[in-house]
A and B are shown apart, each in its own frame.
Chain A
Amino acid sequence: MRRLLSRFVLGAAAVALMAASASAEVTYTRGNDADPETLDQHKTSTISEANVLRDLYEGLVVYSSSAKVVPGVAESWETSDDGLTWTFHLRDDAKWSNGEPLTAEDFVFSYQRIINPETGAKYANILYPIKNAEAANSGKVPPEEIGVKALDEHTLQFTLENQTPYFLELLTHQTSLPVYPPAVKEFGTDFVQPENMVSNGAYTLQEFTPNSRIVLVKNKNFHDADNVSIDKVIYIPFEDRSACLRRFEAGEVQSCSDIPTEQMKYVKDTLGDEVHIVPYLGNYYYAVKADKEKLSDVRVRQALSMAIDREFIADEIWAGAMLPAYSLVPPGIGNYGEPAYADYKDMDPLDREDKAIELLEEAGYSKDNPLSVEIRYNTGENHQNTATAIADMWKNIGVKTTFVTADGATHYAYLRDKGDFDIARAGWIGDYSDPQNFLFLVESNNPGFNYANYDNPEYDALMEKAEETSDLDERAEVLKQAETIFMRDLPFIPILYYSSLSLVSDKLQGWEDNLVNVHGTRWMSLEQ
């Protein structure tokens, strides 16, 4: 009995000890949209990948908790007068997680790797502002010839093709995160495995179990490690948004990256301040095949746009999770002022309907000769409800609508391959906070995104002019002219601006709502 007792006491002491050490370690369980396709930053493209990579690696510049661009690996930087040369000075104490120094050469290696077509980097084209990047990515010149040079161990210089006012924003994207050259050389594609990965951010990779979790632990060699308060981050992929909600309510996760919109009322009522609905840098639109005969008349496209009651769709179908959109560029974006809103933005819906009928009549459509269109959309309950509601609104102006649906892969392949359609749903989330990142979608030389086959030399000329304008105010003006033309011609009908929806526990400090919905764990702390 005594032995048993002493064992029990020992056991209890051990448990107490474990509990003490557990309470010393702060673990943040973080809901993510999905699993990363890969943790190789050069092969990624999705937002859920960006979230994990942001914690693992640090680029030259990073987003602060309020999504301002602040120094990362680079301490300071300067640009030449013509804006084509950018020189970055790397911090002396920049290190990899294994303690090795991080040098400008490592960045050169990384940029050459992503731009090398052999790598198969899906998102390399975002770096085309860098000199020769496009040529190198399409195999015309060797990757060594891109405009990224190490002047010395701590100085990195970029040469650009054109003025790129959003260049700093661009560098916050995961495609600009460095890879550790020795690991890539030794392990090839396996450098992303937990046992091989060397990173330079606030955290290092401990475990990646698909469909279950990704575990990151604090990187002691990170230069700002003293200010990193959370010791461990567990990313959990939630395909089922309700599952995240339940685990959030049960206190098992401290944040969710999405909210089931169908339960929005319940969520708002029960969780109150923990619900974050924030304008986001994205647009939900319908592309109209502008070169198709029945839709080539601008008046037809205007009428279709006018008849859509966006407030109803945003509030009733999306339960306030989206905002009505009357422009392509979302408001609040950087390097821009107010977007070029449609002039019927504040008009009464009924007046708008009358005006739309008038426009259709001018274009030659009437009750006896009604316009009929087909909407293609990718499967999804809210996409379906939105399309149904729009068809109903169009019925009011005498337009007949039919639907075709396909799963996401088929839908986007169809659009990309220039399949025949009238109107197709699509969405765009900005990669960086600049109007160019939205307006370039319908440039005539952008076949991959210009689903509308929109071809307007005046528009292209303005976009080109903006590229060459160095004064930011002047550039904003030119881009606004381009957007005004866009809103007149409507190759895409903007319907909604995206919002980012998050659940954030009261215990989690340092989560600041922002337009790009970027929240690095290094800025946060957690009350136990």
Chain B
Amino acid sequence: MLSYVLRRLATAIPTLFVIITISFFLMRVAPGGPFNLERPLEAKVMENLNRIYHLNEPLWRQYLLYLSNLLHGDLGPSFVYRDFSVGDLFAAGLPVSIQLGASALTLALIIGTVLGSIAALKQNSTIDYLVVGVATFGITIPPFVIAPVLSLIFGVSLGWLPAGGWGNGALPNKILPIVTLALPQIAIVARLIRGAMIEALRSDHVRTVRAYGLPTRVVVMVHALRAAILPVVSYLGPAAAALLTGSIVVETIFGIPGVGRYFVQAALNRDYTLVMGTVVVVSIFVVVFNMIVDLVYAWLDPRVRYD
């Protein structure tokens, strides 16, 4: 097992390297640069800015410089948030995004699994139709609709929760963003569980434990759910990577200081180092979570082993 993990990590490094290389050069193909403002700069000032940020050097030198800095853990200075380095920005924003994403994910897993299982057990009943209906609804309504509506109802009309803002991480400020993030995930998890559960309940091994006379509770929770959760696990890898690295919609609408907004802000402002920073961070998350998924898979499904 350990050797498998090490091997996976070793193959991750070339993958990251390829991603970084492609992103670095692709980004430079985009027209414009970080210092293209409405008011053009004095040539000498532009020259100095380019020198300060090493933009005057040949692209391959900049690339090597970036790689060597990266190896030392330095993501470089931000062009758009000039008072911060990219490292500072992630150190401040990532914990916020991870907190929200992890809470939403946990919420989605618990509620989604319960709803999905109930629907599967009562297949074709009213409850089943209700769950499927709500789930479909949850997937189709995008967060940029859900978020303002929640904020309007609970923040403006009822005044129960803040309409926005982070409030230094106070619980009331987190509720609406977490719910917004969780709703579509609940829907997806519920649907996946329902489908897999229906199949699992009909499978041979579940029929066998039923025949042994085990109580339904044990049959469902221990034997059927273990098989039914597999598709959810493979879905969770990419989903977790996406959720934990923040959501631009939720962060913009609720005013959350996470890292999700940097993806778009950095690209639009040609903040080269911040773009690269987001690429590196997201790639690491994707690689790591895919690995975790594979490991969990092996643990859940005895047929899969990586030795």
* Residue in contact with A210 in the complex, picked from B43, B81, B148, CB distance below 8 Å: B81
Question: Main SS of chain B's interface residues?
Answer: loop
A219 vs B165: C-alpha distance in the bound complex, in angstroms?
A: 26
Mark interface residues in A295-320 (1 if CB within 8 Å of B CB, else 0): 00000000000000000000000000
A508 vs B303: C-alpha distance in the bound complex, in angstroms?
A: 68
Is A249 touching B163 in the complex (CB atoms < 8 A)?
A: yes
* Residue in contact with B253 in the complex, picked from A209, A236, A240, CB distance below 8 Å: A240
A165 vs B100: C-alpha distance in the bound complex, in angstroms?
A: 55
Question: A40 with B83: in contact, given A209-B257, A249-B156, A252-B164 (CB under 8 Å)?
Answer: yes
Is B82 touching A43 in the complex (CB atoms < 8 A)?
A: yes
Of the listed stretches B33-41, B113-121, B132-140, B203-211, name the one at the interface; the rest are far from the partner chain.
Answer: B33-41
Chain A residues with CB under 8 Å of B83's CB are 38-40, 189, 192-193, 208
Is B252 touching A138 in the complex (CB atoms < 8 A)?
A: no
Task: Give the interface of A toward B (CB within 8 A).
Answer: 35, 37-40, 43, 45, 117-125, 137-139, 189, 192-193, 208-213, 236-240, 242-243, 246-247, 249-250, 252, 406-410, 412-414, 416, 426-428, 448-449
Of the listed stretches B44-52, B104-112, B186-194, B230-238, name the one at the interface; the rest are far from the partner chain.
Answer: B44-52
- 24 CB < 8 A contacts A-B: A37-B81, A38-B83, A39-B83, A40-B82, A45-B37, A121-B45, A122-B35, A122-B39, A123-B39, A125-B42, A137-B44, A138-B44, A189-B82, A210-B81, A243-B164, A246-B163, A246-B164, A247-B163, A250-B156, A252-B165, A406-B31, A414-B32, A416-B40, A426-B38
* Residue in contact with B268 in the complex, picked from A45, A408, A427, CB distance below 8 Å: A408
* Residue in contact with A117 in the complex, picked from B44, B257, B270, CB distance below 8 Å: B44
Is A212 touching B255 in the complex (CB atoms < 8 A)?
A: yes
Is A210 touching B84 in the complex (CB atoms < 8 A)?
A: yes
**Is B151 located at the chain interface by the 8 A CB criterion?**
yes
Closest 7 CB pairs of A and B: A448-B40, A212-B257, A413-B32, A38-B82, A413-B36, A250-B163, A409-B32
Mark interface residues in B13-44 (1 if CB within 8 Å of A CB, else 0): 00000000000000000111101111111111
A33 vs B43: C-alpha distance in the bound complex, in angstroms?
A: 29
Apart from A240-B253, A247-B162, list 8 A-B contacts with CB within 8 A. Answer: A35-B81, A37-B80, A117-B45, A117-B48, A210-B257, A212-B166, A246-B155, A449-B39
Is A211 touching B269 in the complex (CB atoms < 8 A)?
A: no
Is B52 touching A120 in the complex (CB atoms < 8 A)?
A: yes
Chain B residues with CB under 8 Å of A38's CB are 81-83
**Is B159 located at the chain interface by the 8 A CB criterion?**
yes
Is A243 touching B254 in the complex (CB atoms < 8 A)?
A: yes
Interface residues of B in 143-172 (CB under 8 A from A): 148, 151-152, 155-156, 159, 162-166
Chain A residues with CB under 8 Å of B300's CB are none
Chain B residues with CB under 8 Å of A45's CB are 37, 39
Chain B residues with CB under 8 Å of A246's CB are 148, 151-152, 155-156, 163-164
Least CB distance from A401 to B in Å reads 23
Is B32 touching A236 in the complex (CB atoms < 8 A)?
A: no
Mark interface residues in B46-82 (1 if CB within 8 Å of A CB, else 0): 0111001000000000000000000000000000111
Question: A138 with B31: in contact, given A243-B254, A416-B36 (CB under 8 Å)?
Answer: no
Is A137 touching B45 in the complex (CB atoms < 8 A)?
A: yes
A410 vs B83: C-alpha distance in the bound complex, in angstroms?
A: 24
A240 vs B249: C-alpha distance in the bound complex, in angstroms?
A: 10
**Is B89 located at the chain interface by the 8 A CB criterion?**
yes
* Residue in contact with A211 in the complex, picked from B30, B163, B257, CB distance below 8 Å: B257
Is A409 touching B270 in the complex (CB atoms < 8 A)?
A: yes
A213 vs B167: C-alpha distance in the bound complex, in angstroms?
A: 9
Is A243 touching B39 in the complex (CB atoms < 8 A)?
A: no
Closest to A35 in B: B81
Is B93 touching A210 in the complex (CB atoms < 8 A)?
A: yes
Closest to A426 in B: B38
* Contact size range, B: 35 or more
Least CB distance from B221 to A in Å reads 40
A35 vs B252: C-alpha distance in the bound complex, in angstroms?
A: 12
Chain A residues with CB under 8 Å of B41's CB are 122
**Is B220 located at the chain interface by the 8 A CB criterion?**
no
Chain B residues with CB under 8 Å of A213's CB are 165-166
Chain A residues with CB under 8 Å of B163's CB are 246-247, 249-250, 252
A498 vs B301: C-alpha distance in the bound complex, in angstroms?
A: 64
**Is B222 located at the chain interface by the 8 A CB criterion?**
no
**Is B128 located at the chain interface by the 8 A CB criterion?**
no
Is A448 touching B48 in the complex (CB atoms < 8 A)?
A: no
Chain A residues with CB under 8 Å of B92's CB are 209-210
Chain B residues with CB under 8 Å of A193's CB are 83
A412 vs B35: C-alpha distance in the bound complex, in angstroms?
A: 10
Question: A413 with B44: in contact, given A238-B255, A243-B255 (CB under 8 Å)?
Answer: no
Is A410 touching B42 in the complex (CB atoms < 8 A)?
A: no
A414 vs B40: C-alpha distance in the bound complex, in angstroms?
A: 11
Question: A247 with B165: in contact, given A120-B45, A137-B44, A210-B81 (CB under 8 Å)?
Answer: yes
Closest to B159 in A: A250
A239 vs B52: C-alpha distance in the bound complex, in angstroms?
A: 29
Chain B residues with CB under 8 Å of A427's CB are 38
Least CB distance from A435 to B in Å reads 18
A250 vs B32: C-alpha distance in the bound complex, in angstroms?
A: 40
A137 vs B41: C-alpha distance in the bound complex, in angstroms?
A: 11
Closest to A139 in B: B44
Chain B residues with CB under 8 Å of A43's CB are 82
A449 vs B166: C-alpha distance in the bound complex, in angstroms?
A: 40
A416 vs B33: C-alpha distance in the bound complex, in angstroms?
A: 12
**Is B223 located at the chain interface by the 8 A CB criterion?**
no
Least CB distance from A450 to B in Å reads 11
Is A211 touching B45 in the complex (CB atoms < 8 A)?
A: no
Chain B residues with CB under 8 Å of A137's CB are 42, 44-45
Chain B residues with CB under 8 Å of A119's CB are 48
Is A240 touching B252 in the complex (CB atoms < 8 A)?
A: yes
Question: A409 with B269: in contact, given A45-B37, A192-B83 (CB under 8 Å)?
Answer: yes
Closest to A448 in B: B40
Least CB distance from A153 to B in Å reads 31
Chain B residues with CB under 8 Å of A189's CB are 82-83
Is A410 touching B30 in the complex (CB atoms < 8 A)?
A: yes
A271 vs B252: C-alpha distance in the bound complex, in angstroms?
A: 23
A193 vs B270: C-alpha distance in the bound complex, in angstroms?
A: 24
A490 vs B251: C-alpha distance in the bound complex, in angstroms?
A: 43
Closest to A237 in B: B255
Closest to A138 in B: B44
A250 vs B41: C-alpha distance in the bound complex, in angstroms?
A: 42
Least CB distance from A41 to B in Å reads 12
Closest to B82 in A: A38
Is A122 touching B155 in the complex (CB atoms < 8 A)?
A: no
Is B251 touching A211 in the complex (CB atoms < 8 A)?
A: yes
* Residue in contact with B40 in the complex, picked from A35, A211, A426, A449, CB distance below 8 Å: A449
Is B42 touching A124 in the complex (CB atoms < 8 A)?
A: yes
* Residue in contact with A120 in the complex, picked from B48, B80, B270, CB distance below 8 Å: B48
Mark interface residues in B234-278 (1 if CB within 8 Å of A CB, else 0): 000000000000000001111111100100000011100000000
Is A409 touching B36 in the complex (CB atoms < 8 A)?
A: yes
Is A37 touching B82 in the complex (CB atoms < 8 A)?
A: yes
Is B261 touching A211 in the complex (CB atoms < 8 A)?
A: yes
Chain B residues with CB under 8 Å of A410's CB are 30-32
